[in-house]
């Protein structure tokens, strides 16, 4: 099965704030970055945490964010980055961001 | 699991007859805590129910004790002297470790390489993911609030607190490990180390070099 | 909205670079988790351990030490799965405490005798 996003894809992290065990850090939700690595498929940790089997497995991506996109007041180099491991179900093609983010914000905030 | 629930009861009083336990808290160090008592009770119940054995517990602690930054340092020293090995290590740390007879466990590990253009530093903002199989148990500060909160937002300031200054024309790249992948930093070989052998090179690599908060000292 | 353990980007003081050698009981907690989550048993996943730590609540990060949070989560998971029940755990903890108190009393007595 080919991964949902190729290396180099611009992806946005879903802007959602569910309760429970979540492996996508708060500070990247709603942010846009670039897929720089595809780690492989793993049972979904957000399901494993509740005693279930975590299947179907989800692809784990490494997404690179520019620090100045994460923190408006970032002090440092404009080239500085943070790379975060993010599961496919938290990612969307960046082009569809604006619609989904608005819907997500209405539903969850 | 039901078979584990049923066979515990007749073991419960095995320890009430005064025979010595393998573990005692450091009684002279003052009160033991509620959670130390809980730990001992859980272990005794698990052993009594034959979920685990005392021997397995002992040998597992030996494995924990055997892990140290020495293993990661050996990998790095080999990578410094053998470019082909380095390429294999960047591809697959666990199998590269295997070449040196080092058991790096089953959780995937990425080596992230420092270059003249990039300095890497690792963190787990959600908990305390750490490449334990190659560096040992994480230091307290790695698991604590200040490091986890700040290193993703102001990495250069945090590195400076560790005495590590990264030039502004070098990208600082923070790696936040969230669940199923671990990172270790592959530092750049310091200058002036051309005549050192692999063993002497390994001595230059500290734990913090592999976290990314420090740089290997020059020889 | 932001859960307490999810702290990336928050303000915090300087990184206090202290560390301690792990106490024997802390290594035992670590070893228990390894055994319970290992391929032979798969009784608890690391993900369940993490969920259990998060569910200890916001105070836990500041009031409990690292391995205190671990054993609390391991124990809660074992109770949820029916590997341990609360009744036997309560009795066993009382038993351990009584034994340690007795050991301490015996030790103090020996030391006092030494002084005489």
Residues 6+ apart with CB under 8 A from C110: none
Residue A97's pLDDT is: 55
pLDDT tens-digit readout, B48-71: 999 999 999 999 999 999 999 999
End-to-end CA distance of chain A: 35
Q: Which chains touch A (3 or more CB pairs under 8 A)?
A: B, C
In this prediction, residues B33-48 reach a mean pLDDT of 98
The pLDDT tens digits of the residues spanning B163-182 come to: 999 999 999 999 999 889 99
Instruction: Compute chain B's Rg from CA coordinates.
Output: 22
> What is the three-class DSSP state of A27?
helix
> pLDDT category, A108, cuts 50, 70, 90?
very low
* B9 pLDDT tier (thresholds 50, 70, 90): very low
| Residues of chain A contacting residue C76, judged by C-beta atoms under 8 Å apart | none
Q: To 10 degrees, what angle do helices B54-66 and C24-37 make?
A: 110
pTM of the model as a whole: 0.89
Whether A68 has its CB under 8 Å from any CB of chain C: the answer is no
pLDDT of residue C18: 85
Whole-number pLDDT of residue B1: 34
Please state, in angstroms and as integers, the Cα–Cα distance from residue C71 to each residue in A47, B34, B43, B45, following that order.
Answer: 22, 11, 10, 14
Give yes or no for residue B214 having a pLDDT over 50.
Answer: yes
The closest alpha carbon to B108, from B197, B202, B181, B162, belongs to B181
Angle between helices B34-48 and C86-115 (to 10 degrees): 120
Structure tokens at B54: 């005392």
For all residues of chain C together, what is the average pLDDT?
93
Q: What is the pLDDT of residue A96?
A: 63
- Best A84, A85, A90 residue to mutate vs chain B (most B CBs within 10 Å): A85
Q: Given this model, what pLDDT does residue B82 score?
A: 98
Q: What is the mean pLDDT of residues B16-24?
A: 43
Q: Tell me: pLDDT of B13 over 50.
A: no
Q: Which residues of C52-63 are buried (b: 16+ CB within 10 A; e: fewer)?
A: bbbbbeeebbee
pLDDT band at C114 (very low <50, low <70, confident <90, very high): low
Does position A48 have pLDDT exceeding 70, yes or no? yes
Q: How confident is the model at residue C113 (pLDDT cuts 50, 70, 90)?
A: confident
- Subunit contact B110:A37, Cβ cutoff 8 A: yes
Name the packing angle between helices C46-54 and C66-80 (round to 10°). Answer: 110
Domain map (residue ranges) of chain A: 10-107
* Coil/strand/helix, residue A11: strand
Residue C27 has a pLDDT of: 97
Whether A22 shows a pLDDT value over 70: the answer reads yes
Subunits that touch chain B (at least 3 Cβ pairs < 8 angstroms)? A, C
**Whether pLDDT at A107 is above 60:** no
For residue A109, pLDDT over 50 is answered with no
Nearest-by-Cβ selection for C100 from B32, B149, B161? B32
* pLDDT confidence bin for C115, thresholds 50/70/90: low
Mutation for C interface: A15, A43, A48, most C CBs within 10 A: A48
Tokens 């090179």, residue located: B201
pLDDT band at C13 (very low <50, low <70, confident <90, very high): very high
* pLDDT (0 to 100) of residue B25: 56
A96 vs B179, more confident: B179
B22 pLDDT exceeds 80? no
Q: Which helix (H) or strand (E) holds B96?
A: helix B93-99
**What tens digit of pLDDT does each residue of C38-75 get?**
999 999 999 999 999 999 998 888 899 999 999 999 99
Q: Is C96 on the interface with B (CB under 8 A)?
A: yes
CA B22 – CA B38 distance, rounded (Å): 16
- Name the CATH code of domain A10-107 (choices 2.40.10.10, 2.60.40.420, 2.60.40.10, 2.30.30.50): 2.30.30.50
Candidates C20, C31, C27; CA nearest to B140 is C20
Residue of A nearest to C46 (CA): A49
CB contact under 8 A, A40 and B168: no
């Amino acid at each position: 099965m080919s991964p949902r996003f190729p290396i180099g894809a611009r992806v946005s992290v879903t802007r959602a704030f569910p309760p429970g065990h979540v492996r996508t850090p708060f500070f990247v939700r709603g942010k846009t970055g670039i897929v720089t690595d595809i780690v492989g498929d793993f049972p979904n940790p957000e399901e494993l945490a509740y005693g279930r089997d975590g299947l179907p497995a989800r692809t784990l991506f490494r997404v690179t964010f520019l620090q100045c996109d994460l923190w408006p007041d970032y002090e440092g180099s404009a080239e500085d980055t943070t790379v975060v491991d993010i599961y496919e179900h938290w990612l969307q093609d960046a082009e569809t961001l604006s619609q989904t983010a608005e819907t997500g914000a209405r539903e969850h905030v | 699991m039901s078979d584990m629930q049923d066979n515990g009861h007749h073991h419960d009083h095995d320890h009430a007859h005064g025979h010595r336990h393998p573990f005692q808290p450091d009684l002279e160090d003052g009160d033991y805590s509620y959670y130390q008592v809980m730990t001992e009770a859980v272990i005794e119940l698990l052993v009594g129910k034959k979920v685990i054995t005392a021997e397995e517990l002992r040998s597992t602690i030996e494995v924990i004790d055997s892990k140290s930054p020495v293993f990661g340092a050996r990998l790095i020293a080999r990578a410094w002297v053998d470019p082909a090995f380095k390429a294999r290590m960047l591809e697959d740390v666990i199998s590269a470790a295997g070449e040196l007879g080092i058991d790096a466990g089953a959780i995937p590990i990425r080596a992230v390489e420092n270059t003249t253009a990039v300095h890497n530093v690792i963190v787990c903002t959600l908990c305390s993911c750490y490449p334990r199989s190659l560096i040992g148990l994480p230091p307290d500060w790695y698991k604590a609030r200040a490091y986890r909160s700040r290193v993703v937002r102001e990495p250069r300031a945090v590195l400076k607190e560790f005495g590590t200054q990264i030039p502004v024309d070098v990208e600082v790249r923070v790696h936040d490990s969230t669940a199923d992948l671990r990172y270790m930093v592959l530092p750049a070989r310091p200058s002036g180390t051309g005549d050192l052998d692999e063993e002497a090179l390994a001595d230059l690599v500290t734990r913090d070099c592999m976290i990314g908060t420090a740089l290997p000292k020059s020889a | 909205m932001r859960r307490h353990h999810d702290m990336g980007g928050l303000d915090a003081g300087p990184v206090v670079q202290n560390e301690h050698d792990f106490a024997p009981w802390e290594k035992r907690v670590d070893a228990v988790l390894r055994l319970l989550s290992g391929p032979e048993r798969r009784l608890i996943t690391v993900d369940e351990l993490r969920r259990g730590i998060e569910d200890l609540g916001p105070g836990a990060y500041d009031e409990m030490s690292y391995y205190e949070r671990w054993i609390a989560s391991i124990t809660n998971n074992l109770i949820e799965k029916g590997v341990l029940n609360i009744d036997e755990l309560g009795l066993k903890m009382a038993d351990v405490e009584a034994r340690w108190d007795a050991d301490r009393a015996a030790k103090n007595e020996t030391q006092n005798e030494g002084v005489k």
